[in-house]
Amino acid sequence: MTQPLSNDSRAQLEALYQQMEPEGLYPLWEKLAALVLPQPQSPAQVHKWAYDKARDYLMRAGDLISAKQAERRVLILENPGLAGQSGITPSLYAGLQLILPGEIAPAHRHTQCALRFVMEGGGAFTSVDGEKAVMHQFDLVLTPGGQWHDHGNPTDTPMIWLDGLDIPTVRHFDASFAEHYHEDQFPEAAPAGDSLTRYGRNMRPLKGHTADRRPAHQPLFHYPYADWRPTLDAMASSGAEIDPHLGHALEFLNPINGGPIMATISAHVRLMPAGFETKPRRATDGTIFVVVEGTGEAVIDGETTVLSPRDILVVPSWKEVVFRANSQLVLFGYSDKACQEKLNLYKEENA
Ligand code: 1HN
């Protein structure tokens, strides 16, 4: 306000506020500046989870509760700035899930979209609408919203993956539906890997008289490490110009429209050669990173975080990030960029 209020007016206003409050009425002029920020001021904090430490707790939980008892045996990675919200950013959730040899996690489906990024083990599966994706370390597997999914581990080693979901986004829109399947496992509908063969080779089934089994908007759900990792190497050795803000970076796509993997979540991988340092960059999509390989540092708004293999790092919206690769550094990242772009909210600044 240009003219300061007199003490008398201030007192009368305060009395008015008190009388209005039980009616659910509040003065916008007292709150406007905090509601409409000149730039993002995320309540989320920069935070890193060291894999081995989190893994120890997860294995201890594994001694105490089965995957079936828990439905999903997961440790939530809650952002310290978002206490009680089960979010790693204001829009996204992250957790570490353990499935021990011989265990199953029963079939269910829900509105929320999920990705899995495998941290440890190999040979367990996620089944999506009755088709298994057999998972190996650093594979990306999706369970898009509304699709039945269960997990199982027929191997003799534990399997741990990072779950990334849009739980806070769906909560924000009050749009959550979920149901359990009446059996532990959804009936097998196709051979393991069927969708990857049909939709993951720059082709798709030609429309004839047979109906597609997979939902038209989201048919592909497995992006194996064995495919994406050599592609990064090929980029790096091709002599292609490296992006100064990202390194050699590739986004995972939905083959149906060339857009992000799911409606609410985008995911990418990047490779930075040893000695490379990115130029500063900030973006409105708070991002969760997994260190796939190598060591380095993330300098976020001037604060340095040391990065080691399988560390999980969250960089909230609009924090300026510089990555330094001490050895060749490979990162996986996911964010709500897909959602923000649909809402015309996404913004980035590359210094
Ligand atoms: C879920 O369905 C899974 O299917 C993991 O593995 C974590 C967290 C909240 C809601 C649903 C899974 C989840 C989840």
Give the length of the chain. 351
The confidence score (pLDDT) of residue 217 equals 93
Best mutation site among 165, 169, 179 for ligand 1 pocket (most ligand atoms within 8 Å of CB)? 165
Residue pLDDT, tens place only, 153-165: 999 999 999 999 9
Compute the distance from residue 88 Cα to the ligand 1 centre, in Å.
Answer: 15
Nearest ligand 1 atom to alpha carbon 105: 6
The confidence score (pLDDT) of residue 208 equals 80
Nearest ligand 1 atom to alpha carbon 76: 8
Which tokens is 210 given? 């047979």
Compute the distance from residue 163 Cα to the ligand 1 centre, in Å.
Answer: 7
Entry pTM: 0.97
Compute the distance from residue 164 Cα to the ligand 1 centre, in Å.
Answer: 9
Residue type, 165: L
Best mutation site among 153, 159, 163, 221 for ligand 1 pocket (most ligand atoms within 8 Å of CB)? 163
Minimum CA distance residue for ligand 1 atom 14 = 72
HSE value, Cβ hemisphere, 13 Å, CA-based, for 109: 15
Which tokens is 330 given? 């490979």
Query: Taking phi first (over 0 means left), then psi (-120 to 50 degrees means alpha), and beta for anything else, what does residue 318 get?
Result: left
Which tokens is 177 given? 């539906």
Q: Distances from the Cα of 68 to the Cαs of 93, 104, 150, in angstroms?
A: 21, 6, 11
In DSSP notation, 201-253 reads SS--PPPSSSPPSS-TT----EE-HHHHHHHHHHHHHTTPPPBTTTBEEEE-E
Compute the distance from residue 72 Cα to the ligand 1 centre, in Å.
Answer: 6
CA dist., res. 78 & res. 325, Å (int): 27
Q: What does each of the 351 residues of the chain score in pLDDT, given as a tens digit?
A: 578 899 999 999 999 999 999 999 999 999 999 999 999 999 999 999 999 999 999 999 999 999 999 999 999 999 999 999 999 999 999 999 999 999 999 999 999 999 999 999 999 999 999 999 999 999 999 999 999 999 999 999 999 999 999 999 999 999 999 999 999 999 999 999 999 999 999 998 888 877 788 998 999 999 999 999 999 999 999 988 999 999 999 999 999 999 999 999 999 999 999 999 999 999 999 999 999 999 999 999 999 999 999 999 999 999 999 999 999 999 999 999 999 999 999 999 999
Residue pLDDT, tens place only, 242-266: 999 999 999 999 999 999 999 999 9
